């Protein structure tokens, strides 16, 4: 089975390839000649993921899925959420984003947060949504150098290390994205049997 992933992010594509069964071959946007950024201007993760999947489906007519992730911090009313990448500005700079987060949370006694990934799939013309969540808390300071984005600040529940202090394999076994991808795989496995 061939399926397009609506992303040109090689890190993300490789991470997803690792968890997909071998019989599903993942096609990148580059493979089908779609270059540049896909618009993501919606105000929720669900709407953004669906918009990206629909955009690629319209251009290619192929089965496709797209993902969108946000960090939702309880004491900030679930911000930065859908705006996580550009929280501190258009530069999408992770250090700036984390510094702003620590500043905004300086008076937050409750440091609960979660990463939420939404995957939107268009398969045989039908649309499906899968969600993956990992609950945790925001540390008082950054620790670790693995991973990307807000990893140095995020401590998943039941652990004392941040995502950035864990091996990539460990993070990928418990992450929001892995959980959403597993649901996608379960679905694809079922319908293709
Ligand atoms: P995207 O939808 O996967 O591009 O994620 C949007 C933004 O959320 C990224 O630019 C990161 O700032 C943040 N983010 C997404 N996934 C992770 C993660 O696994 N660790 C840390 N930050 C993440």
Q: What is the pLDDT of residues 52-98, one digit of tens each?
A: 999 999 999 999 999 999 999 999 999 999 999 999 999 999 999 99
Q: What is the pLDDT of residues 118-128, one digit of tens each?
A: 999 999 999 99
> Average pLDDT of 152-168?
97
Residue of 139 and 18 predicted with greater confidence: 139
Q: Is 147 in the pocket of ligand 1 (CB under 6 A)?
A: yes
Backbone torsions φ then ψ of 145, nearest 5 degrees: -130, 5
- Most ligand 1 atoms within 8 A of CB, residue of 101, 149, 162 to mutate: 149
For residue 123, what are the β-bridge partners?
126
Compute the distance between CA of residue 150 and CA of residue 136 in angstroms, rounded to an integer. Answer: 12
- Picking from 155, 134, 148, the residue whose alpha carbon sits closest to that of residue 10 is 148
Compute the distance between CA of residue 86 and CA of residue 91 in angstroms, rounded to an integer. Answer: 7
My answer on whether omega of the bond before 192 falls inside 30° of 0, hence cis, is no
Global confidence as pTM: 0.94
pLDDT over threshold 60, residue 193: no
* Nearest-CA residue for atom 7 of ligand 1: 85
Host H or E run for residue 136? strand 126-138
Q: What is the pLDDT of residue 36?
A: 79
Chain CA centroid to CA 41, Å: 16
Q: What is the pLDDT of residues 29-53, one digit of tens each?
A: 999 999 877 888 899 999 999 999 9
Host H or E run for residue 70? strand 64-73
- Quote the ligand 1 centre to 123 CA distance (angstroms): 25
Q: What is the pLDDT of residue 184?
A: 93
At 190, is the pLDDT very low, low, confident or very high (cuts 50, 70, 90)? confident
Q: Is 149 in the pocket of ligand 1 (CB under 6 A)?
A: yes
Q: What is the pLDDT of residues 97-110, one digit of tens each?
A: 999 999 999 999 99
């Amino acid at each position: 089975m061939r399926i397009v992933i609506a992303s040109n992010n090689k890190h993300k594509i490789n991470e997803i390839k690792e968890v997909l069964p071998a019989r599903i071959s993942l096609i990148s946007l580059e493979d089908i000649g779609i270059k540049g950024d896909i618009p993501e201007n919606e105000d929720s993760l669900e709407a953004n993921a669906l918009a990206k999947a629909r955009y690629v489906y319209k251009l290619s007519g192929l089965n496709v899925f797209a993902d969108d992730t946000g960090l939702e911090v309880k004491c900030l009313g679930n911000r930065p959420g859908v705006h996580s990448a550009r929280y501190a500005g258009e530069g999408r700079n992770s250090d700036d984003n984390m510094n702003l987060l620590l500043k905004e949370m300086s008076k937050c006694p409750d440091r609960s947060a979660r990463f939420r990934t939404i995957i939107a799939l268009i398969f045989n013309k039908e649309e499906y949504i899968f969600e993956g969540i990992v609950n945790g808390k925001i540390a008082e300071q950054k620790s670790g150098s693995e991973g990307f984005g807000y990893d140095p600040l995020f401590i998943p529940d039941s652990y004392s290390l941040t995502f950035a202090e864990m091996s990539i394999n460990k993070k990928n076994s418990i992450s929001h994205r892995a959980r959403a991808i597993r649901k996608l795989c379960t679905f694809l496995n079922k319908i293709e049997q």
